[in-house]
Amino acid sequence: MEEQQFEEARRFRMEAQRLSERIETLREEWESGTDLIVRPEDVAEVVSMWTGVPVVQLTTQETERLLRIEEELRKRIVGQDEAIEVVARAIRRARAGLKDPRRPIGSFIFLGPTGVGKTELTRALAEFLFGTEEALIRLDMSEFMERHTVARLVGAPPGYVGYEDAGQLTEAVRRRPFSIVVFDEVEKAHPEIFNILLQVMEEGNLTDARGRRVDFRNTLVIMTSNIGAETIRRGGLGFSLPSDREREAELGYKEMSQRLQEELKRTFRPEFLNRLDAVVIFRPLGPEQVAQIVDLEITKVAARLEEQEIALEISPAARDLLAREGFSPEYGARPLRRVIQRRVEDPLSDAMLGGRFTAGDRVLVDVEGNEIVLKKIPHD
């Protein structure tokens, strides 16, 4: 107690006592229990922890899951049916054995306006295919613009500075071979990095600086790019306005797709584009789609409140207000989560801590004037 930290010592002592009591309780339960039965699911879970192979692939028929991939992805991704279908078809082809067995599950490049669901789709795919969003390896290509940074992907060769360090790409995939590898803003990468990408997409493996062969055959390779962003902004194609009609929006999407395809051919080498399974172009979002995203985000908040036995609902007026404030012509729907946090979650947490809402209450997110308000719904 050199620094007279008596309070901290007391806290540690109480925690140690609590853990000791918990251990004793578990020991008594174990000794009084019947014979334990190890089920196949238990074995699968242990193997999953050791290998990184998702449990769902070890215990279910993957074909059944893949047939409903669009249905599952649409629960999280709004307004991007074409993108979902393109990715789903490529994944099913791979799983059906119609692709080169040496190549990754799929190789895609995602294009389109900012904030329309490209990042969310990669997360949803990681969750669906590999059981967790943690199966996502992300590399920002703006950090690999110089020639000397290329070695960071696979590790520096012997005799060079950093030889002891493992490659950022190869080590991540070696540790988690079942994963989605995302190369963000791939157009910013040094040209030599595209040689690495070509080998991954064609051969399905890389050899790191230590001579270890890293297998990419169970990965999904996704590249995102901001090429054509200026063209999109200049052409007013970033987001559909409320006054846009369906036909005008469709024409705008086709025009945007054509421009992006042309820009793609000017930016990347043909041999790189030919190795892609698909170029996925995301649609601009309209007011209806953003309102649906509001519903998804509020549903997440409601799910967290269920743990405290509080029900959360939202009025159409509140949904529309959050959708308007969560839009940005420049950043798309990215500000939406922050708006919901500031307008809904912060006032809600204050009210709960103040005792205004307690277990068993139903709370309505509504609008008064131009402000979001929280109301307690009377019990029937």
Asked whether 184 and 145 are in contact (CB, 8 A), the reply is no
How far is Cα of residue 313 from the mean position of the Cα atoms in its chain?
26
Clarify whether residues 227 and 310 are in a common domain: no
Tens-place pLDDT, residues 190-213? 999 999 999 999 999 998 888 889
Clarify whether residues 191 and 128 are in a common domain: yes
Q: How confident is the model at residue 237 (pLDDT cuts 50, 70, 90)?
A: very low
Query: What pTM does this model have?
Result: 0.76
Residue 21 falls inside a structural domain: no
Cα end-to-end span (Å), the chain: 58
Mean pLDDT throughout 46-74?
A: 72
- Domain of residue 326 covers 287-377
Clarify whether residues 201 and 260 are in a common domain: yes
Clarify whether residues 178 and 304 are in a common domain: no
- The CA-atom distances, in angstroms, between 107 and each of 16, 62, 86, 222 are 51, 20, 11, 6
Clarify whether residues 65 and 126 are in a common domain: yes
Q: Which residues contact 218 (CB under 8 A, 6 or more apart)?
A: 104, 105, 177, 178, 179
Nearest-angstrom CA–CA distance, 193 and 173: 17
Residue 9 falls inside a structural domain: no
Residue 15 falls inside a structural domain: no
- pLDDT of residue 251 exceeding 80, the answer is no
Tens-place pLDDT, residues 302-318? 999 998 899 999 999 99
In the chain, how many domains are there? 2
Clarify whether residues 196 and 128 are in a common domain: yes
Look up the CATH number of the domain holding residue 220: 3.40.50.300
